Each structure stands twice: as structure tokens, then as C-alpha cells.
Amino acid sequence: MSFNSRRTFSTTAAAFKVGCAMVKPVHHKVKIRKKFLSPRFPELKIDPSDIRSPKYKPYLTQPDRVKDYYHNTLKSDLLLVGYRHDQVKVEGVKRRQWDMTSPYHLNRPLRKPRGQVVPSPDIQPRDWRNVPQFETITLNCWVKEAKLKPQMAIAGSLQLQQMTGCKTKPIYAKTNVPTWKVRPGMKMGAKVTLAGKYASQFLTTLTEIVLPRIRDFKGISNKAGDRYGNIAFGLQPEHIKFFPEIENNQDSWPQTFGVDITLHTSAQTDADARILLSALGIPFAGTERVPKNLLNDVKESTIDSNVEDVKSVETVKAVKASEPVS
């Protein structure tokens, strides 16, 4: 008996045991949420998006005109404006293989992409899923005077809070530049990222109140942009006074600080981002340069003469009504 029950390589020990469970032990895998089993707190079972739930937080508390305009009018227009037949994917610059001339190339991480450090993403043909959308605004206020007078960084931070109504984060110097008397760790100002209703509110203030009152403002440079659909520009200290939050309380602001503003969009190229932002009321000026790799994104058999037309910036105007014309 003892000989037979000895463990061999062809059998398992469990097969000889009596009373082993035939039911798979699911209790390891299925998470049991006690709040659904217990009758004690019925309101905890309600979804937090339900107004009866104690976790409910209202978020649609005010109309957002920028968002409404985008979803009702702009999105379908941008799809048509950016659409071209037989558009093909434009490959981004990717990491390269080593040429294996040296045995040390084996298992090495790939080479850097040509001309840049990080690879760039592919540019997909326009379809209804990748219509550019306005996402966030970043305001960055670097106060030069703060290297000698540290309290000026706080004033810059307060100015950003006054303009946006959002809590700011401090920014610090990163490098040591003895001629500029900058050392790492010095607090040099503040930044804030706006999203949702705060971003819409700020954009409206910018396009309807501030930018029209700047005398020498022709438009944001068409050369601005980081190639991936984010457009940045700067406002001088005297332009900050046009913000109504600052202007209505001028005595408290003897000194204002310039701000760098970055408009983040989900566009794949800067040209697409400019079309979107001009539709939201931001003017652009100057000559525009289209990157070479974007010029041949249509199948060769269907290249027509209006490629340049599509690339140029178009301004979408405010609309009252629309009518398809057949």
C-alpha cells in the first residue's frame, strides 16, 4: 500500500487525497464588496453620479459657451475643413536600429531618432475620432526680479490667481547661471493649468476683452507652436492690466508681471490647432511654414492642385444657422 501511494512523476499527490474540493475556489478571484451584501447603509449602494448618493457632487453648475459652441457647430465643421480624400498616414520620426558593425551593438537600446531626442508620433488621416479639441491652458509667470527680491515671486503667483481664479503652483530655477545670479531652487514665480470651465472662462476673457484692447496686437505668430498642436504666446506686463480682474482693482496692482500662455489642443499638427483656435476667436498673423513631411500625405494617384489651399489657415466665423446646399 505504501509502495502504491508513493508520489511518482506521472501522478500528483492531490489525486490520492480524499475529500479534495471539486469546486474551483472562486473566492480568491471574485471580490466581494460588503456594502452590497449588508443591509445597513442602503444609500452607499447608490451610484455617486446619482443625486441621492451622499458622494454626489454637482459639476454641471453653469453653462459653458465654448464647450457648447464646439460640440454643436465647430466639431462637424472642423471634420469637413480638415478632411481630404485618400489621405494617408504620415510616419513620425522613430528610433533607429544599430547597424551591427560592432558586437557591442547587440542588445543595446535603439538609436535616437534622426534630428531629435524622442520619437514623434504618426499623423493619422482626419476622421471623426481625431477632430482637434481645445483641452487646457497653461499660464507660466517667471518673475525676473524674484532672484533679488524673493517676495516678488509671491506677487506673481497672486496675479495669476487673480486672473484665473485657480490655485497656482510655484516654479523654481533649475540651473546655476552666475552671470544672471540664478541658482537652483530659487522660487521664481508660479504656473497654473486651467481645464474645463476655468479654461473656457479664461479663453473668453482673453479673446473678447484682453486681446482686442492691445493696440499693437496683430495676432499670434503663425510660427508659434511645438509641432504637436500646442500654441504658445506671451503677454507683456502692461497687457495684463487689461484683464478686468486686475483693471477693476488697479490700486492693488502697482506692478504687473508678464505671462506665458500655452493653449493645449488635441490637434496632431500646429496647422490644425491654428484652425481650431482661430475658430474660437484667437487671431493669427504672419507667414506660415508647413513642415516638409506634411506635404505628401495624400496618395500619389490622387494628388490634386488644392493641397496648398487646405493647408492654409481658415477662419471659422461665428454662425447663426447653417444650411447644406446640394
Partner 1 sequence: MITGTVAEREFTKAQKYPIPAHRGVWFPKGMPDIKHGRDRRFKQEVNLPKEILEGDAEDLENVGRPISANPRITEADKKNDQTSLERELPRTLYLLLKQNGQWKFPTFQLENDETALNQVAENGLRQLGGDNINTWSVSGTPAAVIKYVNGNILPYGTSVDHEGVSREYLMKSHVVAGQFVPQQGKGVEEYKWLVKEEIQPLVEKPYFDQVRHLLAQI
139 and 156 in contact (C-beta within 8 Å)?
no
| Residues lying near partner 1 in the complex (CB under 8 A) | 61-62, 72-73, 76-77, 80-81, 83-85, 161-162, 165, 244-245, 248, 306, 309, 316-326
The β-bridge partners of 259 are 235
CB 64, min distance to partner 1, A: 11
Which residue, among 139, 289, 133, 311, has the nearest Cα to 222 in the 3D structure?
289
Residue 125, classified by CB atoms within 10 Å of its CB into exposed (0-12), middle (13-18) or buried (19+), is: middle
- Residue 12 CB, shortest distance to partner 1, in Å, is 58
Q: How far apart are CA 40 and CA 25, in angstroms?
A: 28
Provide the minimum distance between the beta carbon of 56 and partner 1 in the complex, in angstroms, as a whole number.
15
Q: Which residue's CB is nearer to partner 1, number 110 or number 195?
A: 195
C-alpha cell at 154: 509671491
CB of 158 to partner 1, least distance (A): 9
Residue 76: other Cβ atoms inside 10 A: 13
User: Closest CB to partner 1 among 124 and 161?
Assistant: 161
Q: Which is nearer to partner 1, 120 or 162 (CB)?
A: 162
Choose between 116 and 249: whose C-beta lies nearer to partner 1.
Answer: 249
E strand intervals along 75-228: 134-142, 169-172, 187-195, 220-221
Residue that the C-alpha cell 508520489 belongs to? 7
Q: Provide, rounded to whole angstroms, the least separation between the CB of residue 90 and partner 1.
A: 19
